[in-house]
Amino acid sequence: MKNSLLIALVLGAGVAAGAFGGRIPIPGGIEDAVQGPHAAWYASRGAGIAAYLCIWASLAGGLLMSSAWFDGLVGRARLLAIHQTASIAGVALGLLHGLILIPDGWTHFGLSDILIPGASYYKTSLSALGTLTLYLSAVVSASFWLRPMIGVRMWRLMHYSSAVVYAAALWHGLKLGTDSREAWGMSMYLGTSLAIVAFLVTRFTYARPARQPAKPREVSTAV
């Protein structure tokens, strides 16, 4: 129940923050964005930004959780909740980012343009990268529940691909996102990417020591 509420809060906050950011600037004002012919496009921009921020938060939470630097400052359970919730929210917002364009009469995207990599007429390679990023992020999110079935080694391999998800989302946003041309958008991408670099350095500098197997207790044979 707590996780469901947390996911709902993250989704709501992500949409609000992303939509606000995605509407800077808006020709004609907010009313035109909400009620005008390009409302779906503005909503897609907002959902895309929110999805990127959730992917970033998930990777950042995972890196900090696996580092010993935050021990005693932020509980690992809280970081794990951020890591998992942001990952799931990123998938949901990424899917919304694409699907919400279908009813838009200006872009003329169909279901195949959104869900089949390489099928989009618009900047095919970059659009395909966005679709593949969505699918890979869904696999990473599913690994939270698949661990008992696939084993720790495969789980780690799938989980490490979250770095690929972030890098792909960053490139997709930079090259295809309208807001990457704005000063605030470029500042967001630069700040979040530099933060990931800092978290990576922290992760490898303050690595959590590996758990040692417990030694069997010695049984006394004295009579």
CATH of the domain at 133: 1.20.120
Q: Is residue 138 part of a domain?
A: yes
Residue 215 in domain: no
* pLDDT for res 52: 96
| Average of per-residue pLDDT values in the chain | 78
Reported as a single tens digit per residue, the pLDDT across 155-202 is 888 888 899 999 999 999 999 988 888 899 999 999 999 999 998 888
Query: In the structure, what pLDDT confidence band is assigned to residue 4 with cuts at 50, 70 and 90?
Result: very low
Structure confidence at residue 167 (pLDDT): 95
169 is in which domain, residue-wise?
2-205
CB hemisphere CA count around 95 (13 angstroms): 10
pLDDT tens per residue across span 127-157: 999 999 999 999 999 988 888 888 888 888 8
**Cα dihedral sign for 154, 160, 161, 162?**
positive
Residue 218 maps to a domain: no
% pLDDT > 90, the chain: 34
* pLDDT number for residue 165: 94
Average pLDDT over residues 9-32: 45
Mean per-residue pLDDT, 94-117: 87
- Residue type, position 93, single letter: L
Beta-bridge partner residues of 67: 207
148 in a domain, yes or no? yes
Total of domains in the chain: 1
Q: Does residue 189 sit within a domain?
A: yes
CB-based burial, 198-222: b 16+ in 10 Å, e otherwise: ebeebbeeeeeeeeeeeeeeeeeee
pLDDT of residue 69: 64
Is 210 part of a structural domain of the chain? no
Confidence of residue 73 (pLDDT cuts 50, 70, 90): low
Q: Is 213 within a domain?
A: no
pLDDT at 23: 43
Give the model confidence (pLDDT) of 32-60 as tens digits.
444 455 678 888 889 999 999 999 999 99
Residue 59 identity: L
The model's pLDDT over 55-69, given as tens digits with 9 standing for 90+, comes to: 999 999 888 877 766
Is 109 exposed, middle or buried, given 0-12, 13-18 or 19+ CB atoms closer than 10 A? buried
